[in-house]
Chains A and B, each alone.
Chain A
Amino acid sequence: MRFEGSTNYVATPDLKLAVNAAIALERPLLIKGEPGTGKTMLAEEVAAALGLPLMQWHIKSTTKAQQGLYEYDAVSRLRDSQLGGVDGGRVHDISNYIVKGVLWQAFEADEQTIILIDEIDKADIEFPNDLLRELDRMEFYVYETRQLIKARRRPLVFITSNNEKELPDAFLRRCFFHYIKFPDKETMQSIVDVHFPGLKQSLLKEALQVFFELRDVPGLKKKPSTSELLDWLKLLLAEDIPPEALRSQDRKVSVPPLHGALLKNEQDVHLFERLVFMARNNR
């Protein structure tokens, strides 16, 4: 089983290699990179390419490791017992109040699955540590029902991080790691090709030029990412903007059309417009 990229997703050779190493050795793959570099999409694409079901677990600051295994809904049980009536038998069987988490569902699946633990750095610092054993041995114990849940087939685990918190060493030692570098022009061109097949090359060339120059503007709070570029292209196409409009004519500096799609932050827009204004006056 190997991942060779997909028609929807541009994977550089180093990324493919990291994915294949994780597949071959059945170890988790940790992916980091700037926002919008396709970290989340990778797991989806690998799952689609390999034809395996994808189980997604999106992490929030309040997410606990235990929730990925199971939760004991004691409050419902208490309520049921207080209310009595409805179904007396139900209350006595604790397993009626055990809610399975993503890992449990993946472990008990008949075929191999892919688990996406998205944005692990959002959670508490202890979160990764709490999952060490589960991800290592792919098993855990349910105390309430005295059951050992063991994966039938070791799932492939993809973990993404935006680098908001550092991850513990013990956790890192168990993963493969890949940092997705922000795409260079060539790679970006392939990515755009995937999303807009048959886009006029002249437009693409000008657009990429504007995009990468904009990313180089010092002091931006949020540099435009791949998703912003794609959104912007969509607008350019919808409005039928010609490539010439993107080029600065007679060396005049200008604000590119629809730049609001690239710069989402008001301060950045101001900064940029001011820079353009100053540049113009200096000519």
Chain B
Amino acid sequence: MLIDFFLHLKAAKLPVSTKEFLTLLEGLQARVIDHSLDDFYFLARATLVKDETNYDKYDRAFAAYFKGVTEIPGLEAEIPEDWLKLMMQKHLTAEEKAKLEKLGWDKLMEKLKERLEEQKGRHQGGSKWIGSGGSSPFGNGGFHPEGIRIGGKSAGNRTAIKVWEQREFKNLDDSVELGTRNIKVALRRLRRFAREGAAEEFDLEGTIRGTAQNAGWLDILMRPERHNKVKVLLFLDIGGSMDDHVRLCEEMFSAAKSEFKHLEYFYFHNCIYDYVWRDNHRRHSERFPLADVMHKYGDDYKLILVGDATMSPYEILQPGGSVEYMNAESGATCLARLLQKYPKSVWLNPEPERLWEYRHSIQILRDIMGTRMYPLSLEGLERAMRQLNK
């Protein structure tokens, strides 16, 4: 049933809603498409996926679903021949492939069609696989025959199947890490974050209109100020593996600088200790004690830490653990103090999220952050900004 397909997409973390699913059903009912799987792919995409950054996820989910089951949900479908070939090739053993070569593709397709016809005649229910007896050249091709017409002509050479197999939209996926390509989008999200802090300002035009409407009695109107009030303290881990990421972050935040009321940034190395610095060339001569920073910037600042959080746990937990100098207090203590002052805080981590659980130091810092650590991807950035706006 179609509902399985829907649930499958949901399980694949696509943000699909019931309303949209009903629209899809409506579309099928209205015969927007006829029996082709290509068309079904497009219709379902136009109905259920509202953001091109999710196209790739959809392609993967679609391929996975129709690889295993191949029951075209609720409608008689036509599977393009080249897709069948492709699938078969993937699923066949070397031996079966050899047999196949001997038989030739055309022959094979014919046989497959015959087999399907038979199957239809027998009203077998859907559970039988074609040629599962092992004697056929199809091996465990794994097609659910019911309701499927095969070998239909596919729409030119731009068939959907090629789209979902090629994953053309891969680079639009927003869970990949930030790069120069998606930095623009990241910026837009940052701007929106900045915008959300906006307060009211006097609306001259609205006031004139309102006053006129009021038959001349003054009616003062306010509207959200275009500028915004968000203040940000940015702490960047610099040195070694972090340099590329830091450059990217700096670029991103400085591009968005005009959007923020205040944006201050500081550097640290690996973990936060009792001082930070502003200019990396003069990091040893020009230090800012953390206490001064905390004194200067009020607690209405939102704190964003960027770092890979990858180091020896000792560097976090032990006084004197820093690789750079003799720190009197442990990194954990300093960080905790900073967090106490700035309750609105997040940590952005350029390391892929799936690796986090394998790195002890990431776990520790994530704990200290109260789980407010997010991957440095568009989607992670989005979550982080949402957290900051809570």
Contact = CB atoms under 8 A, between A and B. Distances in A.
Given A13-B42, A32-B52, A75-B208, A176 B47 contact: yes
A175 B50 contact: yes
Contacts of B43: 17, 21
B212 A75 contact: yes
A14 interface: yes
B32 A74 contact: no
A173 B20 contact: yes
A178 interface: yes
B274 interface: no
Contacts of A57: none
A24 B42 contact: no
A24 B46 contact: no
Given A74-B213, A165-B188, A21 B55 contact: no
- Chain A contact residues (Cβ within 8 angstroms of B): what range? 20 to 34
A177 interface: yes
B17 A179 contact: no
B47 A21 contact: yes
Contacts of B195: 125
Contacts of A6: none
Contacts of B104: none
B17 A21 contact: no
Contacts of B46: 14, 17-18, 21, 176-178
A77 interface: yes
Contacts, number: 80
B192 A125 contact: yes
A30 interface: yes
A12 interface: yes
A77 B30 contact: no
B26 interface: yes
A17 B50 contact: no
Interface stretch (B141-149, B154-162, B355-363): B154-162
Interface string B33-48: 1000011001101110
B19 A173 contact: yes
A164 interface: yes
A173 B50 contact: yes
A188 to B, nearest CB: 13
Contact of A75 (B17, B32, B209): B209
A30 B50 CA distance: 9
Contact of A17 (B39, B55, B185, B189): B39
Contact of B23 (A25, A77, A181): A25
Contact of A177 (B17, B50, B216): B50
B156 A13 contact: yes
B214 to A, nearest CB: 9
A72 interface: yes
A166 B195 CA distance: 13
B114 interface: no
A162 B226 CA distance: 21
Contact of A14 (B20, B32, B47, B160): B160
A133 B31 CA distance: 27
A71 B332 CA distance: 59
A39 interface: no
B212 A74 contact: yes
B27 interface: yes
B251 interface: no
B49 interface: yes
B244 interface: no
B225 interface: no
B118 interface: no
Given A25-B27, A25-B32, A74 B47 contact: no
Nearest to A13: B155
A172 interface: yes
Nearest to A78: B212
A154 interface: no
A25 B46 CA distance: 13
A193 to B, nearest CB: 16
A63 interface: no
A33 B45 CA distance: 16
B32 A20 contact: yes
Nearest to B26: A25
Give the one of A17, A30, A77 with max B CB within 10 A. Answer: A17
B168 interface: yes
Interface string B205-224: 00011001101100000000
A78 B39 CA distance: 57
Contacts of A24: 27, 30-32
Closest 4 CB pairs of A and B: A179-B52, A172-B50, A74-B212, A78-B212
Interface of A: 12-14, 17-18, 20-21, 24-25, 27, 30, 32, 72, 74-75, 77-78, 125, 163-166, 169, 172-179, 181, 186
Given A12-B158, A163-B188, 9 more contacts: A13-B38, A14-B46, A25-B23, A25-B30, A32-B52, A75-B208, A165-B188, A166-B188, A176-B23
29 contacts: A13-B42, A13-B155, A13-B156, A13-B158, A14-B42, A14-B45, A14-B46, A14-B160, A17-B42, A18-B42, A18-B46, A20-B32, A21-B32, A21-B47, A24-B30, A24-B32, A25-B26, A30-B50, A75-B212, A77-B212, A78-B212, A164-B188, A165-B192, A166-B188, A166-B192, A172-B50, A173-B20, A174-B19, A176-B23
